[in-house]
Amino acid sequence: MKGYVHSLQSLGTVDGPGVRSVVFLEGCPLRCVYCQNPDTWEFDTAHLTEADDLVKRLLRFYPFIKNGGVTFSGGEPCVQAEFVLEVTKALKKQGLHVALDTSGCVWNEAVERLLEQVDLVLLDVKMLREEDYRKFTGASLADTLFFLNKLSEMQKDTRIRHVVVPGISNGEEDMAALARLVREHPCVKKVELLPFRNLCIEKYEMLGLPFSLKDTPLPSEEDMRRLEKLLDGYLQKT
Ligand code: SF4
Q: What is the mean pLDDT of the chain?
A: 97
pLDDT band with cut points at 50, 70 and 90 for residue 145: very high
Q: Rounded CA gap, 139 and 160, in Å?
A: 18
pTM to 2 decimal places: 0.97
Of 126, 102, 118, whose CA–CA distance to 154 is shortest? Answer: 118
DSSP string, 53-118: HHHHHHHTTHHHHTTSEEEEESS-GGGGHHHHHHHHHHHHHTT--EEEEE-S---SHHHHHHHHH-
Please, which residues bridge with residue 101 across strands? 122
Ligand 1 atom 7, closest CA: 35
Calculate how far, in angstroms, residue 76's C-alpha sits from the geometric centre of ligand 1: 7
Residue 7 per-residue DSSP state: E
Kindly state if the Cβ of 165 falls inside 6 Å of ligand 1.
no
| Domains contained in the chain, number | 1
Dist. CA 132 → ligand 1 center (Å): 15
**Distance separating the N- and C-terminal Cα atoms of the chain:** 45
Q: Among residues of the chain, what percentage have pLDDT more than 70? A: 100
* 79-93 per-position pLDDT tens digit: 999 999 999 999 999
Q: Which residue range is the domain that position 160 belongs to?
A: 2-237
Write the CATH number for 132.
3.20.20.70
Give the model's pLDDT for residue 80: 98
Ligand 1 neighbour 76 (Cβ under 6 A) = yes
Distance CA 223, CA 208 (A): 32
pLDDT at position 237 is: 83
Give the CA diameter of the chain: 51
Q: Tell me the pLDDT band of 238, cut-offs 50, 70 and 90.
A: low
pLDDT in tens, 84-124: 999 999 999 999 999 999 999 999 999 999 999 999 999 99
Ligand 1 probe mutation, 137, 147, 199, 211, most atoms within 8 A of CB: 137
200 CB within 6 A, ligand 1: no
Position 175 scores a pLDDT of: 98
